[in-house]
Structure 1
Amino acid sequence: MPGWEIITNSSPVEILKNIVDVLLVWFVFYKLITIIKGTKAVQLLKGIFVIIFARILTEYLELNTLKWMMEQVLIFGFLAVIIIFQPEVRRALEQLGRGRLFARSAMQEEEERDRLIEAFQKSVSYMAKRRIGALISIERETGLSEYIETGIQMNSNVTSELLINIFIPNTPLHDGAVILQKNRIAAAACYLPLSENPFISKELGTRHRAALGISEVTDAITIVVSEETGSVSLTANGDINRNLSMEDFEKQLRQVWFGAEDETSPKSFWKRGKRENG
């Protein structure tokens, strides 16, 4: 076999260089795909693959006219891509000049976290001031698919406007929980299991009991806005932290969701919340 002969006739250093070469090529492709993910360039990439497949198919079926057309598209396609995606190409070159091209994925992840936290802050603040009841559960390691199936499927981006609209009273989706899965709103009007803990404070209503219930059987984080008082609560790991200010809400949500350390609040805030709960 030619491939095996190349390997056997190569020195260990040459083999190692070839392995490193292949790994670097895969790394570059992976980073490029990460960069264009979620942009309109993804659709272009799909179109290119379709054209390449069509070109191979015309060669196999001997469709000469269509083959010639595909060849012209491929020849002039590279120039068309540069013209159409000139802003994206320029941005990528600027990032390369700053040494940030391959660090962009980490930056995008951090920006996405900030965007999600900001969306929750705005929506929770709005609903708390107007005493609009809300129940939002965030999936982590333990899957919430069985609870997602009880609601209305959405698969939507997380925005403060959408969250507020979902919980506006007397609308079709306001009754029940919103569940986030992979940083997207998977479903609304979902049913969560109620906590059976006999030591829960009697002043807690159904939303708080549902938030505690889901935190007892999964590792989900759940946000609760009280319809009666407008107070904001967080539940996780079977504990509840109540009556949070917007500043504390942001800090504790970051800490429990993304593991962000907060120097101003001790790590045992969930235990504090449990003691408050009695």
Structure 2
Amino acid sequence: MEKVLALLENIGSYLLLIRISDVLDIAIIAFLVYSLLRMVKSTRAENILKGVVAFLLVLGLADILQLNAISYIMKNLVQVGILAIIVLFQPEIRQILEKVGSRNIKLLKVFNDPKQQSELETAIDQTVVACKEMSQSKTGVLIVFERDIRLDDMVRSGTMLDAAVSSELLKNIFFVKAPMHDGAVIIRHGRILGAGCMLPLSKNVNLSRDLGMRHRAGIGMSENSDAVVVIVSEETGSISVAIGGMLKRHLMPETLGKLLRNELMPPEEETEDKPRRTLAEILGLNRKGDKDDVGMDV
């Protein structure tokens, strides 16, 4: 009993030494590690992170067991390995930094312009109408909705515009004999900023082989930014949406509209009795026994 009391006294004395700054320090580190793990999930960087953790575990084990030769080699590899990781995984590192920057922008940005919100809502409605009609005619479509990460480089790769979004304009742009039908339309704040724009192709080797260049470009754009990309297949007329490197296929026009509103409209637009739904709820991923919906393709 005396030993237990002594142990409790020791623990109490250590707890008294903990300052508020120590708790804050630990909380910040835990938050940063958690955020990093979330950002690298389902990317090539995830496998690298696992490899780095395994490498550090082996290095620590070598030090404990006093395996001097292995410890010496691995410590020297660390210096070269850090530089190699930066060079080989520059796109992933850039993507992580862009995500961090976009989250900071979200915290600082105030988006209350009624005109912009009205234009964005109109753009969503007109996009759904256009995609429904072009899906029926099997016309290829690639529409990018810009969010926090600006896509000026992509806009400059095509024809720069400043036009209100309408279903007729979108159908004219993507008409098979139109000069800009093979590129992407980029929309910012509810207005068409560019057409015939070139997008980066996805580097994900695990994509389904039945996906064409239009789908790979849409996924690639969503991998390199926080944009929401709408795709209509010219082969099947199927409507898809790419977000964060994930592709949701075979969407109905009504589902497309709900998804775009959830992803693009500011939270202030939602009423208290109608809370903002998650992407999984909109796409029906949480419904049991739903076999008509095709899951996310990575």
1:176 to 137, 158, 183: 183
CA offsets per residue over residues 236-267 of structure 1, 9 Å max, x none?
11111110001111111111111567879654
**Superposition misfits of 4+ residues, deviation over 6 angstroms:** 261-265
- The structural deviation recorded for 1:156 is 1.2
1:115–1:216: structure 2 CA closer, same or farther, 3 Å change rule? same
Two-structure CA RMSD over aligned residues (Å): 2.6
Q: Distance in 1 between matches of 2:121 and 2:180?
A: 26
- The structural deviation recorded for 1:220 is 0.7
Aligned pair count reads: 174
**Which residue of 2 is the match for residue 268 of structure 1?**
280
* Mapping 1:1-278, distance limit 5 Å: 108-259=115-266, 266-268=278-280, 275-277=295-297
- The structural deviation recorded for 1:113 is 3.5
- The structural deviation recorded for 1:139 is 1.0
| Structure 2 contact 157–198 (Cα < 8 Å) conserved | yes
1:170–1:267: structure 2 CA closer, same or farther, 3 Å change rule? closer
Q: Distance in 2 between matches of 1:265 and 1:242?
A: 19
**Which residue of 2 is the match for residue 9 of structure 1?**
none
* Gap regions ≥5 residues in structure 2: 1-111, 286-292
CA offsets per residue over residues 72-129 of structure 1, 9 Å max, x none?
xxxxxxxxxxxxxxxxxxxxxxxxxxxxxxxxx8664553343122111111111001
Q: Distance in 1 between matches of 2:132 and 2:229?
A: 16
| Structure 2 contact 160–195 (Cα < 8 Å) conserved | yes
Percent of matched pairs sharing the same residue = 36
Q: Distance in 2 between matches of 1:179 and 1:233?
A: 16
Residue type of the partner of 1:243? H
CA offsets per residue over residues 132-178 of structure 1, 9 Å max, x none?
00101111110101111110112111111101100000111111111
Give TM-score, length-normalised by structure 1: 0.57
Q: Distance in 2 between matches of 1:219 and 1:274?
A: 22
1:264–1:161: structure 2 CA closer, same or farther, 3 Å change rule? same
1:106–1:113: structure 2 CA closer, same or farther, 3 Å change rule? same
Residue type of the partner of 1:268? A
1:151–1:108: structure 2 CA closer, same or farther, 3 Å change rule? closer
Bigger Cα Rg: 1
- The structural deviation recorded for 1:268 is 2.8
Residue type of the partner of 2:138? R
| Structure 1 contact 148–186 (Cα < 8 Å) conserved | yes
Q: Distance in 2 between matches of 1:193 and 1:271?
A: 29
Q: Distance in 2 between matches of 1:236 and 1:135?
A: 13
| Structure 1 contact 239–271 (Cα < 8 Å) conserved | no
